[in-house]
Structure 1
Amino acid sequence: MIVSIIGGTGPQGLGIAKRLAIEGVEVIVGSRKEEKALDIVANTKEELADYDLNMTGMANEDAAKAGNVLIITVPLVAQKPTIEGIKEFCKDKIVMDATVPLETAIGGKPSRFIDLMEGSAAERTASILEGTGAKVICAFCNISNSHLANIPEDIECDCLIAGDDNESKVIAAEIIDKIPGIKTVDCGILEKARIIEKITPLLIGLNIKYKSHYGGLRITGIPALDKE
């Protein structure tokens, strides 16, 4: 299985790419410009020379075409044009969206949320991809970039996901749970992304308040997502 990180040269996307590649996943890092993706991948392989990384760099469109599972890691302002640019390559694929509607998109604070007409960023992606058969899942919204970058330390956080297709969520969880320390929690239908995404500015605010970079979330008292 090939996992393509769309917009994968930023801190979040590259952090996810590194974590998955270290665990043996074949990863493609996508960017608006292929040259940037290639440079980032070359630097990453040099940085993590102790690991045998199966990682390549491509333009976002080529990455989306080649990947079996796509992970969207772009800022809110880039979300719509990015999704529209890869739409033809999303047919029947699992598309995990990590976009969070933060007020930084309009020059505001990262600890504040923007309400979208569609209800959530993940639902907006689903509306753009309507008719393609893509299975959209809200994922990776609550895992901080600092946690992702803190290799090789385990990430002691839960990854909350939401989506309308149960089989796709199981596959997504199998990928996410390869990252040591993370436990995936299925929160239900895609509409629950409206709640999941709103947790992110809360966590950002807590990290600011307590001068930390590693604030996360654990859900207790329930079993892990059943992957059988």
Structure 2
Amino acid sequence: MKIAIIGGTGSQGLNLGKRFAIAGEDVIIGSRKEEKALMKVEETLEELKDYENISMVGMANEVAAEEGEILILTVPLSAQKSTLQTIKDHVGDKIIMDATVPLETAIGGSPARFIDLMEGSAAERTAKILKNTDAKVIAAFNNVSNSLLENIPEPIDSDCLIAGNDNEAKKVAIELIEKIPGIECIDCGKLEKARMIEKITPLLIGLNIKYKSHYGGLRITGIKKE
């Protein structure tokens, strides 16, 4: 599977890229500037030199969106709209997993506070921006701590809550996400459920701050997945 991480040169995008590359997937790191993507990939390949068969390349976001089979959006809220507009013509009917969370940091506030969006959630905002495409938008990775992703090779002690309107697309996403050791993926239902999923992130950030941790996560218990 060729995974394109749009806006992937930040820590969350790179750490997801590392996890998927180690799992044997072909990873494309996208950036607004190709040069930055190439530089970050070079650094990452050096970091992962002890792993075999790592496949990772850097591209401009538009080319990454064209080349990738599944897209993952990992940008701050302030860059969400502009980034999506640059790749809109290249998305087609692909699955796009949106990890954006509307945190108050977008307006200079606290990372432990949430911004209410007119669309209801960041993922629904993505769906609205891409409404003239056939893209299948899924909220994903919103509640998985970047510190957990970064803590390679340790497994991730957290569930990944997802939401989306296309059940087949969610099945593909779940199969991919669960290639990261330790993660269990929970389908929470329609895309509107992203409104609740995204609000878990500032709660977890606040808990990590309160208890002086970086690895707080979420587990849903008592559910038997089919």
Corresponding residue for residue 49 of structure 2: 49
Q: Give the whole-Å Cα distance in 2 for the aligned partners of 1:8 and 1:174.
A: 21
Corresponding residue for residue 203 of structure 2: 202
Corresponding residue for residue 35 of structure 1: 35
The CA deviation string for residues 58-112 of structure 1, in whole angstroms up to 9 with x for no partner, is 0111100100100000000000000011001111000000000000000000000
TM-score when normalising by structure 2: 0.99
* SS in structure 1 of the partner of residue 20 of structure 2: helix
Q: Which amino acid aligns with 2:20?
A: L
Q: Which amino acid aligns with 2:25?
A: V
Q: Give the whole-Å Cα distance in 1 for the aligned partners of 2:23 and 2:40.
A: 19
Corresponding residue for residue 223 of structure 1: 224
Q: How many residues align?
A: 225
CA shift, 1:140, in A, is: 0.2
CA shift, 1:223, in A, is: 2.1
Corresponding residue for residue 19 of structure 2: 19
Q: Give the whole-Å Cα distance in 1 for the aligned partners of 2:47 and 2:17.
A: 13
The CA deviation string for residues 145-176 of structure 1, in whole angstroms up to 9 with x for no partner, is 11011000000100000000000000001110
Unaligned segments of structure 1, at least 5 residues:
none
Q: Give the whole-Å Cα distance in 2 for the aligned partners of 1:114 and 1:2.
A: 33
The CA deviation string for residues 32-69 of structure 1, in whole angstroms up to 9 with x for no partner, is 11111111111111111011211000011110010010
Residue pairs, 1:178-193, within 5 angstroms: 178-193=179-194
Q: Which amino acid aligns with 1:216?
A: G
Corresponding residue for residue 173 of structure 2: 172
The CA deviation string for residues 164-223 of structure 1, in whole angstroms up to 9 with x for no partner, is 000000000111000000000000000000000000000000000000000000001112
Does residue 124 in structure 1 map to residue 125 in structure 2? yes
Corresponding residue for residue 104 of structure 1: 105
Q: Give the whole-Å Cα distance in 2 for the aligned partners of 1:64 and 1:107.
A: 30
Corresponding residue for residue 155 of structure 1: 156
Q: Which amino acid aligns with 1:114?
A: I
Q: Give the whole-Å Cα distance in 2 for the aligned partners of 1:25 and 1:222.
A: 29
Superposed CA RMSD in Å reads: 0.6
Corresponding residue for residue 114 of structure 1: 115
Does residue 94 in structure 1 map to residue 105 in structure 2? no
Q: Which amino acid aligns with 2:46?
A: E
Q: Which amino acid aligns with 1:17?
A: G
CA shift, 1:131, in A, is: 2.1
Q: Which amino acid aligns with 2:30?
A: G
Structure 1 segments, 4+ long, off by >2 Å, are none
Identical pairs, percent = 70
Which shifted more, 159-168 or 45-54? 45-54
Q: Which amino acid aligns with 1:76?
A: L
Q: Give the whole-Å Cα distance in 2 for the aligned partners of 1:156 and 1:165.
A: 27
